[in-house]
Each structure stands twice: as C-alpha cells, then as structure tokens.
Structure 1
Amino acid sequence: MSQSGEFCPRCGDPVEEREEPLPGTPRERDAVLCDACYFEDFDLVDAPERIEVMVCAHCGAVYRGKRWVDVGAKDYTDVAIDEVQAALGVHVKAQEVSWAVEPEQVDQNTIRMHCRFNGIVRDTFLEEEAVVPVHISRQTCKQCGRKAGGYWASLVQVRGTDRTPTPEEDARAVEIAEDIIADREEAGDRNAFITETQETDEGVNIKLSTNQLGQAVSSRITRELGGSVENYPTLVTEDGDGNEVYRVTYAIRLPKFTQGDIIELDDDDGGPVLVTSARGNLKGTRLTTGEHYESRFEEGETPPATKLGTVDDAEETTVVTVEDEHAVQVLDPETFEAKTIARPDFFDPDEPMVNVLKSRAGLHVVPSDAESR
C-alpha cells in the first residue's frame, strides 16, 4: 500500500493509506494507528473465562435465558460446544472467520474447550487460541419436577353407559392421550405430559398436566370411540397474580352399544342388528337380511334396544342345506337339531360351516369377518 501521508499518533511511524469511510459515516477511532500499534490491543475473539451450563439431570434440557429448552443433544459435549459458540464474540472487523474446537473431558462435570480461530483483519491473516472451561451443573427442570411431584391439572375418566369399557377401549383411550402428548412435545411444548394412568373397575383414568390437554384428549376419544363428555371444574388455588386455578375432570360416557354387539331393537320386528359403529348415531347390519341399519337422528348412538350378545359369542356350526334365497338349514350348536333360519345377503352358500348366535331372539347367522372392539 502507498503511504497516506499521516503518522501513527502512538509510535510516529507512517500510516498506510486506507479506504476512506463513506460520507456521514464516523471514522473508526483506531483507524489512525499503524498496523503494529493497531494489533497490539486487538483481540480477534472475546471469550469468557468460564461458562456454566445448567442441565436437567432427568430429561437433558438446558436452561437458557429464563426457560428450559430441549436441545436434542446426544451428550453434554454437544451442549458445551453449543454454549461456547453462543458465548464467543468475534471482532466486527474480522472477515472470513473460521474456528475449530477440541473438547477435553476433565471430569464428570467439567469440559475444557480448546478453541482455535482465524480470520483476516486489515488484509492480515490472524490466528488466535482460547481455552474455555465449561462446567455442567445438573438440576431438575420445572417439567420433571412437576412429574416427580405428581402434578396434574385435568383428569379424563373413561366410562361406559350401562356397561364397563372394554380393555380395547381403555387401551385406545390411553394411546390417544400418548399420541397427543407426542405431537405437543414434537412441537416444543414442554408443559405437556401424562402424570398417571390408572385402571379402575369402571374404566381408565388419565391425569394430564394442563386443562387444554384434558379437553383435547377427551374430544378425540369421543370423536373416535363415540359417546359424550361433560367437564367439571374444581377451584384449587390462586396463582401469584391472583388468578383462580382450576382442576377439571372430563367425564366421558361411551355409547351403551359398541362395535361387535348384537342387539334387539325395541318395538322393531326387523330382526337383530350387528353393531358396526356407534359414532354419531348407531349403525349396523340386520342379521336376518344383511341390510344396513342406521338409527334415527333423535335416537343417536343409543336407540332403545337390548343386547343379545357379541360376535365373540357366535359359534361355528354345520350348514345342512340351502333351502332357497331366503332360508338356510343349519345344525343347532347346542341340540344339534337341523333348524331352518333366515339367510342374509352376507351368507356364502359355498361354505360348509357358518357362525351363528343363539339367543332369546332365535338362531341367526353372523358374518365370519365381523369384528368386536
């Protein structure tokens, strides 16, 4: 570079000519110094003497700012590297900066980070090293503390109408809650968790961390399994701002009848109905004809009816003969007498065996592929 005609105010040496700042832009105070004097006080990197990282010993979350953050680190070395990177400051005049770090595990709670940096300042290539000790402090985050303390804000109770929920219904209710929690956690919600699931003689109880979760879980359960839900809030305390804090019980009542039940409708001579769905309003198949059945809107999912049994109660028996398109002769599975019964559309005349249900309504063919919940 050519000489600017100016002299360094510190050592008196000539100063090389540099690009003038744009009009209106203040001139850097150290711009008048020569390179030797400039670099005497120049620090490429501003590194802290020590970094302390607070990590939850249970879930691995890191405390940053004023909140716990799930960082997804494989181990504490990854956490230490991220914290060092966030704490380092590189001089604004440095260009083409690159850095590398070599962690040294000193003990269980201390990682010494050997950092090497390089960059270009005043067309000069600079290198600098820094050693930053990182201390890992193990604590318990608010979420894990609440879990350990059994904290809950909402209770979802799964019950049946005039019956006990099936094990499959209880299991599915818990699975729905777990799916919702997983979705919330993936979205970064650290306040979403299941405190406890409890099996009772009447059905499953699910305790959840927030009222919003209780509402979401109960809504999805009734949407999938049918039934209705009522909520019952209970005032438990006030928060620091004087706001009332409630615990809410979401009481679910599953439909009286469910998939796989075989029912006899009151004041109806169309024959028993195999229930295929109880969501919205009850739907099923007539065992005498194979025709589709659907309850009236005002009857909903629980029309007046009596339960005769379920598809699991059906027994396999022998087909004696197919009499015509409306009747078939089978062996009574109890007395082994040949009996003529209704032939529904789903009956396969080529099959030598058939499933039948014997009840107070008589003997009826049951679809071989019928499923119960």
Structure 2
Amino acid sequence: MSSGDFCPRCGDPVPEREEPLPGEPRERDAVLCDDCYFADFDLVDAPDRIEVRVCSQCGAVHEGNRWVDVGARDYTDVAVEQVTEALGVHLKAEDVRWGVEPEQVDENTIRMHCTFSGIVRDTYREEQVTVPVFISRQTCDRCGRIAGGYYASIVQIRADERTPTAEEEQRAVEIAEAYVAEREATGDRNAFVSEVTETGDGTDIKLSTNQIGGGVAKRIVRELGGHVEEYPTLVTEDSDGNEVYRVTYAVRLPKFTPGDVIDPDDDDGPVLVRSVRGNLKGVRLATGDPYEASFEEGETPDARRLGTVGDASETTVVAVEDEYAIQVLDPETYESKTIARPSYVDGDADTVPVIKSRAGLHVLPADAVDTDDADAS
C-alpha cells in the first residue's frame, strides 16, 4: 500500500504498510485505518455457553463422540479444558497471553472468566469474555448397559463329579473382577461384570463381551486347573447383517482339589494332592516321595478320594521305631499302632496330624494341615 491512501470507511489517511510478498493474499481489512479496523475487531471468538455431559453414575465425560473416564469429582479442570478448546484467538494476534479463572456458581454451573491479550498492528489489545459452563448429568453407554443387565458372555464355574468349593467359587469371581479391572485400566469402557449368580451346581459370571468371557475362563483354568468348553448361541444380527453370538464358557474344574487325599490305582498308597494345574501333583503319604500323574491321566488320574486335610486329627507319637516306621495312637480307639513313617516326619515330633481312611492310618505333612482345625477335630 502506498502512502497517501485513505480509509474507505472514514476517509482518514491510512499509514503506509508493508506490501504482501508475491503470491500472498492481500488482507481484506488492510485498507482500513486502525480505528475502523479495531471497531469490528474481536481478539477472541467465544461460544455463548458450553455444556459438559457427565455420567452421574461413573463420572465419565462425553468428549467428541465417546465417553472418557477422567477420574475426577470436581469438573472444574474439565470445564477449563473444554472452554480453552472452544475459544479462538485472532490469527493476526502476536505474543498472545491468556488466563482462565473459574467461578463455581452452583453444583452444575461454572462461569469461566477468560482474559486474553496480544499485539495486533503493533497495538496492544486486551479482551475479557465470560463463558458459562453447564454440567449436564446423564448416563453413559456403559452404565446404561450395566443398569439394564446387559451381558454378552457367561462363565459357568462347574466341577467334575462334584460341586465347586466355596473357596474355588470365590477365587473364580476374584479372578474375573481382576481381569476386568485390568481391562478398565487400559481404557476399555466395554469391560464390566454384569452379574454374579450362585446356582446349585456352581457360580455363573455374566460379562460384557465374549472376548472378556474367554479371557476370564482361561485365567481361571490356568490357576484352578480344569478345562473350558464353549457353547455359542445366536442372539441377533447387527446393523450390517453380521450374526451376533452370546457365548457360554463352561469351566470344568478337576475332580480332585489341593488338600484331597486320594488313592491312585497303582498300589503305592495314598497321595496328598498339592496341585491340579496341568498334571495332578502331590506327595505319597507312606514315603514322602513326590507324585505326578502321567501325561495321559492329566489332572484326573484313576483314583478314589479317601478324604481331605480337613479330616485330619492331631495324635500322639508313641515312638519312632526306625527310618520307615513310627508308632502313634489311633485317634479313634487310642490304640498304639505302627504305621509308615514318611520322610517329612521329624524324629523329635511329639504329635503328628493323621488321617484315617479305608486305606489305613497315614501321617500328613504338618504344613498341609490347619493346626487349630486338627486340634478341634
């Protein structure tokens, strides 16, 4: 622009300004004088109001087209963030500085007092705007599904030829909750336990997705032993015509559990079960030698259950005869009996836990028995 040009709006002379480089667009308002230019100038473009959608159940905030967990009870920071994103500063402003001061009006209303400053046409400009932010309490998709009892998979906790123990059922639920918590920690808002139901045969755990159901079932088997069988059921079709299945994961826990005393069909005497992960493992009660079922037998060898460590009784040691024999009192008849001395029996022991069954009287490892329970029995 050459010197001597006049403002087309008011007729005042316009100071000479630097011409744009070749190829650069000329600013439309460059022909205006400063007074006319700033008469219509807004340093900040601000919305009249902002609504922040918050889930009243879990506290998640709706951002864009999805719900996001923010882990906040005070939504002031969320309001500051959304107001900051909604404000626009004029492109011609340089050295821009700004600040936002929130004012909590009530539980659901926050006034955001925003101050902006910058240099425009070598002139310092400052502008203040107030944007009201309203907290809208709603229900997110996840909480709506939970409230409606939605589920996509069921993990059934059952056992082979028995009912799962209370400890097994409790542990299975804990495993499911821990698995879901891990998924939630990674930001998976589709992860939740919908319902836990106790039945006469075991516990049913309803979960939000088939993938989570499968993951929970595998983790339960990994810790408690057994195997999983899957039973899909067609329930509907989605908007694209794809079939949607609900899957039941039947977890079948092993016939025997740690703490059972069994008698394998091998004529080598009873075994205290220590583990049922993979192949059943334990210890021979007659010798103290380790026992492991063959690969073919796996977690359920051909054996009969004689009892559990809960059936143990504490009895008096009469004498340690030698390396392989010990004399104890029969806990029922109080007769002195000589029985096998396994390697885990201390030669100085005054008492030992024993179990009496159809296979005879056997000493249990002290670390396998709750001493208080044995005394009480």
Counterpart of 1:52, as a letter, is: E
Q: Distance in 1 between matches of 2:161 and 2:213?
A: 24
Do the aligned partners of 2:14 and 2:32 also contact (CA within 8 Å) in 1? no
Q: Which runs of 5+ in 2 are unaligned?
A: 371-377
- Deviation track 1:218-262 (CA, whole Å, cap 9, x = no partner) reads 011111111011111111122222222211111110000111111
Which residues of 2 match residues 144-155 of structure 1 at below 5 A? Answer: 144-155=143-154
Which residues of 2 match residues 1-373 of structure 1 at below 5 A? Answer: 5=3, 7=5, 9-10=7-8, 11-15=11-15, 18=18, 24-266=23-265, 268-370=266-368
How far off is 1:31 after superposition? Answer: 4.4
Counterpart of 1:227, as a letter, is: G
How far off is 1:102 after superposition? Answer: 2.5
How far off is 1:120 after superposition? Answer: 3.3
- Deviation track 1:126-185 (CA, whole Å, cap 9, x = no partner) reads 321111111222221111111111111111000011111111111111111111111111
How far off is 1:194 after superposition? Answer: 0.7
Counterpart of 2:40, as a letter, is: D
TM-score (norm 1): 0.92
Do the aligned partners of 1:277 and 1:284 also contact (CA within 8 Å) in 2? yes
Classify 1:16/1:320 alpha carbon distance in 2 versus 1 (closer, same or farther; 3 Å): farther
- Deviation track 1:272-310 (CA, whole Å, cap 9, x = no partner) reads 111111011111111111111111101110000011111
Which range is displaced more, 62-71 or 348-357?
62-71
Q: Distance in 2 between matches of 1:170 and 1:301?
A: 19
Q: Distance in 1 between matches of 2:340 and 2:181?
A: 49
Q: Secondary structure at the match of 2:115?
A: strand
Q: Distance in 1 between matches of 2:99 and 2:319?
A: 85
Q: Secondary structure at the match of 2:187?
A: coil
Do the aligned partners of 1:16 and 1:34 also contact (CA within 8 Å) in 2? no
Do the aligned partners of 1:234 and 1:246 also contact (CA within 8 Å) in 2? yes
- Deviation track 1:45-69 (CA, whole Å, cap 9, x = no partner) reads 1100111222222112222222222
Q: Distance in 1 between matches of 2:226 and 2:267?
A: 27
Q: Distance in 1 between matches of 2:267 and 2:6?
A: 111
Q: Secondary structure at the match of 1:26?
A: coil
How high is the sequence identity, in percent, across the aligned residues? 68
Q: Distance in 2 between matches of 1:237 and 1:17?
A: 69
Classify 1:16/1:315 alpha carbon distance in 2 versus 1 (closer, same or farther; 3 Å): farther
Count residues in correspondence: 368
Q: Distance in 1 between matches of 2:337 and 2:125?
A: 100
Where do 4+ consecutive residues of structure 1 move more than 6 Å? Answer: none
Classify 1:9/1:247 alpha carbon distance in 2 versus 1 (closer, same or farther; 3 Å): same
Q: Distance in 2 between matches of 1:73 and 1:40?
A: 42
How far off is 1:192 after superposition? Answer: 1.0
Q: Secondary structure at the match of 1:15?
A: coil
How far off is 1:369 after superposition? Answer: 0.7
Q: Secondary structure at the match of 1:112?
A: strand
- Deviation track 1:173-210 (CA, whole Å, cap 9, x = no partner) reads 11111111111111111111111001222111100111
Classify 1:353/1:130 alpha carbon distance in 2 versus 1 (closer, same or farther; 3 Å): same
Do the aligned partners of 2:312 and 2:369 also contact (CA within 8 Å) in 1? no
Counterpart of 2:306, as a letter, is: L
Q: Distance in 2 between matches of 1:21 and 1:298?
A: 86
Q: Distance in 2 between matches of 1:300 and 1:27?
A: 83
Counterpart of 1:13, as a letter, is: P
TM-score (norm 2): 0.91
How far off is 1:13 after superposition? Answer: 3.1
Q: Distance in 1 between matches of 2:298 and 2:85?
A: 60
Do the aligned partners of 1:194 and 1:208 also contact (CA within 8 Å) in 2? yes
